Structure 1
Amino acid sequence: MTAIQKLDDNPTAHLTPEDIEAFGAEIEAIRQEVLAKRGASDAAYIRRMIAFQRWLEVGSRVTLLASVFPPAFVAGTAGLTVAKILENMEIGHNVLHGQWDWMRDPKIHSTTWDWDNATPAEAWKHSHNELHHTYTNVLGKDNDLGYSIMRVDEDQRWHPFFLAQPLWNALNACFFEYGIAAYDLQLGKYLPMKKEDRPEHFTKGVTAALKKIRKQATKDYVVHPLVAAPFGGFLPTLAANFIANVGRNIWSHSVIMCGHFPEGVAVFEKTSIEGETKAEWYLRQGLGSANISGSKLMHIMSGNLSHQIEHHLFPDLNSNRLAEVAPKVRAVFEKYGLPYATGSFPRQLGSAWHKVFRLSLPNGWLATTTPRTAPKRMAQLYRMSTGGRKARKAIQAELDAAAA
């Protein structure tokens, strides 16, 4: 599998161990600087954000009472979509990260917060905070990397199953909250087991997830449509909630794709993190993430995950400070000659989707396919898809030679 230390153009090859430790010390100094000065203004920010989001949701749901009229339907649906995005991205994701635990406010704390999402908070905190942020982009350790259903690296052996990964990714985008709930439970690992062989934590996790999904579905697809029914708005309100949920899911999925999957983001072997120091962890987080450039509104709507590099360096740092530290972090990367992946939302999203399509095909297939070679390449793809492992290996050797 491709690891950063095996790349032909290794972006860290020029760094000595002493350089890496110095790099880590400068990054840690940026974190400590912000921790020392956060206070009342930060607390006021998150309280204002929560109040705004709740009033926006209430106002949108009241508007949807008249959703039988098209202007009310459009306004209510748009407002509800934005409210759900804010609740998940700038509020829920960041509160559950523990970014606001320092306030000691029991109402805004990672141990008490519940969010408008199919995944139970405790399950998400384990898979995201404890696993993903510890093992960022480590193949076989970070389940967020392709969500266990996609090929994410050239040295992962190609199989015909991966031809469908653009479709899986599109479906995952539309129903992202349920995909996250499924992968948090590791359904692919435990469902094939006999019922009596499944661990107790899996059974409890399934029960908790189903309970949460039932609660969310009842609220969005039963309670609120019934409230609007006397005004003739049952079906429009039902549709508005569905559109808002799908819109929120596609946006969340897109932001996360931009932060972890564009071309140029590094992927790592398991062995590359053995004996990893804090400075080396900082280095991996920075090289395994990518930012999105844009306006302040873009940053808020993304939960400040547009500053994905900074978020991965400082996952417990409150999100409203990431824009402040980003230029300082970038300066440190430039000082040590390290790539700092950033780009506009369309550019990063396009790059991520290009990678999804590229890796759905055998290595070298896309790069060597031209109008002249297309018939031959299609025939090879057919033989690789219908033949056995031996046939795939032989044709892959041809593609490798053509690409070289």
Structure 2
Amino acid sequence: MPLAAPSTAPSSARRTAATSSYTALSQAVREAGLLRRAYRYYAWTGAVLVVALGGLVAGFVLLGDSWLQLLVAGALGIVLTQFAFLAHEAAHRQVLASGPANDRLGRFLANGVVGISYSWWMSKHSRHHANPNRLGKDPDIANDTVVFTEDGARAQHRWLRPLTRVQGWAFFPLLTLEGLNLHVTSIRSLLHGTRADRGARALEVAAIAVRLAAYVAAVCWFLPPGLAAAFLGVQLAVFGVYMGASFAPNHKGMAIIPAESRIDFFSKQVLTSRNIRGGALMSVLMGGLNHQVEHHLFPSMPRPHLARARELVRAHCAAHQVPYTETSLVRSYAIVVRYLNRVGLAARDPFDCPAYHRLRGV
């Protein structure tokens, strides 16, 4: 994908038409009841996850000193990711009726169950939703170990450039460390926050510390050191890969919006988002993130209503000639790998390859 608005982006007149008609689309979505809370769905989903977590705890205790515990660890990584999906939906006001109630649920799930900072996630994710794939505004495409723009690749630390050149191939292996990174980054953000929210941050740090300490202590108490370390490693690796593999297909490889550009809300959200085919099963596996276009257009829409909203949004995009991107999960991963590798070429030292600048037309 290009590193700017694609050539298929709607013209100014079409963008104006899309903007003016977005009100009509929103009205159609509301009249269809797609913004109503889905209490039964979330009650059932939460109950299943609680039972699954209880079963894993029971299996952990009963198995004792056995390498079969690594299966429990992998399953635990999956279940904790599903709880993280629920925390994400609570943060978007999808689960309960009021904002404060959703925040309380989200804090409990994120801090107490998953072990990551709810406030850090809210801040980061809100900025992403406001400006997806916009340079300088979307934290999800800011330079890190993996970079998402050619300028970012050129500015990458010298000691990371060998990795950046092959970052597409390294992306999924690196996700095995993402679980640990999420814990560390969220705690670091709480420790370096502003004075204004010091009390709230202290409570959040305490909740996360108790959760993580109790979990590690329990694993180390029941298992010998080597098996305990393997258990924690497998759980964190599965958690990181599952989280990363669920969020990566949504925007990576889609249009990058220049910082100074002006683009309407509807086009901005649709042109930078990618849906994943797969129906109801994919919605369960990805926590509704497979309907990324609809999620970005209507962030407070409960997960079970996104499939119906997809039909309305696709029709709206077709009527206003706004490209609507949807593909398979495997195909999306191939796009992400190819895109990251292409971006990573900008980190190549031209002295390593004399034909580099010539081939790139520089």
When normalised by structure 1's length, the TM-score is: 0.74
CA contact (8 A) 2:117 2:187 kept: no
| Aligned twin of 1:314 | 298
Could you tell me which amino acid in structure 1 is paired with residue 181 of structure 2?
A: G
| Aligned twin of 2:54 | 58
Q: How many residues align?
A: 353
Q: What is the DSSP-based 3-state SS (H/G/I as helix, E as strand, rest coil) of the residue aligned with 2:276?
A: strand
| Aligned twin of 1:389 | none
1:85 lines up with 2:45 in the alignment? no
Could you tell me which amino acid in structure 1 is paired with residue 78 of structure 2?
A: V
| Aligned twin of 1:399 | 359
CA contact (8 A) 2:350 2:357 kept: no
1:303 lines up with 2:287 in the alignment? yes
CA distance in 1 between partners of 2:184 and 2:197 (Å): 11
CA distance in 2 between partners of 1:16 and 1:295 (Å): 30
Tell me the CA shift for residue 350 of structure 1.
Answer: 1.8
1:254 lines up with 2:254 in the alignment? no
Report matched runs for 1:143-182 at 5 Å. Answer: 143-146=139-142, 148-154=144-150, 156=152, 158-159=154-155, 160=158, 161-165=160-164, 166=167, 169-170=171-172, 172-180=174-182
1:360 lines up with 2:320 in the alignment? no
Q: How high is the sequence identity, in percent, across the aligned residues? A: 16
Tell me the CA shift for residue 23 of structure 1.
Answer: 4.1
| Aligned twin of 2:307 | 323
Q: 1:270 to 1:151 in 2, by over 3 A?
A: same
Q: 1:110 to 1:13 in 2, by over 3 A?
A: farther
Q: 1:53-107 deviations in whole A, cap 9, x for unaligned?
A: 0110111111112334768536533432332121112x11111222123168948
CA distance in 2 between partners of 1:16 and 1:357 (Å): 33
| Aligned twin of 1:221 | 216
Higher relative contact order (CA 8 A, sep 6+): 2
| Aligned twin of 2:118 | 121
CA distance in 2 between partners of 1:61 and 1:119 (Å): 20
| Aligned twin of 1:382 | 352
Tell me the CA shift for residue 145 of structure 1.
Answer: 1.5
CA contact (8 A) 2:131 2:137 kept: yes
Could you tell me which amino acid in structure 2 is paired with residue 315 of structure 1?
A: P
CA distance in 2 between partners of 1:139 and 1:216 (Å): 36
When normalised by structure 2's length, the TM-score is: 0.81
Provide structure 1 residue ranges, at least 5 long, that are not aligned to the other structure.
366-378, 385-394
Tell me the CA shift for residue 16 of structure 1.
Answer: 3.0
CA contact (8 A) 1:151 1:360 kept: yes
Please say which of residues 252-261 and 62-71 is displaced more in the overlay: 62-71
Provide structure 2 residue ranges, at least 5 long, that are not aligned to the other structure.
none
Q: 1:346-403 deviations in whole A, cap 9, x for unaligned?
A: 110121122112211129x8xxxxxxxxxxxxx945168xxxxxxxxxx76423339x
Q: CA RMSD in A?
A: 3.7
CA contact (8 A) 1:307 1:323 kept: yes
Q: 1:109 to 1:203 in 2, by over 3 A?
A: closer
Rg bigger for which structure?
A: 1
Tell me the CA shift for residue 321 of structure 1.
Answer: 1.3
Tell me the CA shift for residue 289 of structure 1.
Answer: 1.0
Q: What is the DSSP-based 3-state SS (H/G/I as helix, E as strand, rest coil) of the residue aligned with 2:361?
A: helix
Q: 1:205 to 1:12 in 2, by over 3 A?
A: farther
| Aligned twin of 1:281 | 265
Tell me the CA shift for residue 176 of structure 1.
Answer: 2.1
| Aligned twin of 2:259 | 270
Could you tell me which amino acid in structure 1 is paired with residue 133 of structure 2?
A: N
Q: 1:147 to 1:205 in 2, by over 3 A?
A: farther
